Amino acid sequence: MLIETCGLCKVYGVTVAVDHLTLAVGEGEVFGFLGPNGAGKTTTIKMLLGLATPTAGQARILGRLPGDPAVMGQIGFLPEQFRFPPWITAADFLDVHGRLYGLSAAERRRRSAQLLARVGLADRGRSKLGEFSKGMLQRIGLAQALLSRPRLVILDEPTSGLDPLGRREVRDLIHELRADGVTVFLNSHFLSEVEVTCDRIAIIKRGRVVRLGTLAELTRQRAEVEIVAAGMTPEIEAGLTQWGRIVQRLAPAEAATPPDAGHLILAVADEAVAPQVACYLVQAGARLHMLAPRRLSLEELFLRVMEEET
């Protein structure tokens, strides 16, 4: 495992930022680390990199203690709040970071040119960073994170400030890294990007992991049935609770649907109960227009989890 934590905690005064966090991230995996603002994501990353000391628990990164110089050169990192010196050029910025990694002058020149092209800044090497837009700064930050050909890349909001084209390019870059066997630890608020990029996902809330697994595993845990039916009395709706609970009410799905039709989402233990639900509604006197099992998107799953009490 390239990242391992066991009971990792961080407390600031009376505030518990990270609460007994246990994770394992394997070689070549793209791992999504998700949660609302203040959930402890950035604090966790700081502890993994040796930038913050845990209050309790343990962490290992590339088999070593966080911050161990023996492995730090094998880790690329793009922080969410990167501070770029405005007077330095893009090429010199990468050269400085290449020196910190111990790269030779020839390797620094070669890697800088390759990475400027890879992030769409091939013609801006002599431009000062103070002239760059937020999206361009994000791109140069990505370039520096990849300078040393790292085994592990930690990306904290890598698509912040990027337009849809830039986000697609970052997604393609992450796919390339995976193909090269590089492990990517990704924190992002763009859940649609995470959904098509990550092999596994952890959702944290108030410093604790509340969901962990592949997207398929996580969405199977939250099967739902979408129902559009007219004549849905309170008594009929109450009868649906034998299979689950109503988690959402929507406007009628189609213009042709009668105005008295109800459109709701029923959370169930298993989507295989859909035929039983359909039979119940018809026998109870509802006029069924549509009933279909549905899988949650990552965004829907995330919102449901955030609404739960923990």
Record the tokens describing residue 221, joined without a space. Answer: 């845990």
Distance CA 3, CA 183 (A): 10
Give the H or E element holding residue 21.
strand 15-25
Q: What is the mean pLDDT of residues 233-239?
A: 90
Pick from 59-63, 190-194, 226-230: least confident: 190-194
Q: How far apart (Å, rounded) are the C-alpha atoms in residues 240 and 158? A: 43
**Could you tell me which residues are beta bridge partners of residue 264?**
227, 249
| pLDDT for res 31 | 96
The residue to which tokens 């990199």 are assigned: 49
Please give the CATH architecture assigned to the domain spanning 3-217. 3-Layer(aba) Sandwich (3.40)
Quick: pLDDT tens for 145-170: 999 999 999 998 888 777 888 888 88
How are beta strands 30-34 and 200-205 bridged, if at all? parallel
In the chain, what percentage of residues exceed pLDDT 70? 96
CA distances from 19 to 9, 16, 59, 224 (A): 5, 6, 13, 31
Higher pLDDT, 121 or 80: 121
- Where in 241-305 does DSSP place strands (E)? 244-250, 261-268, 287-294
Question: Residue 80 — pLDDT band, cuts 50, 70, 90?
Answer: confident
Per the structure block, which two tokens stand in for 292? 């279909």
User: How far is the C-alpha of 243 from the C-alpha of 186, rounded, in Å?
Assistant: 36
* More confident: 69 or 159: 69
145 phi/psi in degrees, rounded to 5: -65, -20
The Cα angle at residue 287 between residues 257 and 296, in degrees rounded to 5 = 65
Domains of the chain: which residue ranges? 3-217, 224-294
N-term to C-term CA, the chain = 29
How sure is the predictor about 212, in pLDDT bands with cuts at 50, 70 and 90?
A: very high
Q: How far apart are CA 92 and CA 112, in angstroms?
A: 9
How high is the pLDDT of residue 310?
A: 54
pTM above 0.85, yes or no: no
The tokens 């698509």 sit on which residue?
159
Architecture per CATH, domain 224-294, reads as: 2-Layer Sandwich (3.30)
Q: 235-255: string of b/e by CB count within 10 Å (b at 16+)?
A: ebbebbeebbeeeeeeebeee
Least confident of 5-9, 22-26, 281-285, 297-301: 297-301
The helix or strand, by DSSP H or E, that contains position 218, with its residue range, turns out to be helix 215-220
CA distances (Å), origin 221, targets 207, 209, 305: 22, 15, 11
Asked if residue 258 lies in contact with residue 230, where contact means CB atoms within 8 angstroms, the answer is yes
- Contact between 177 and 184 (Cβ < 8 Å): yes
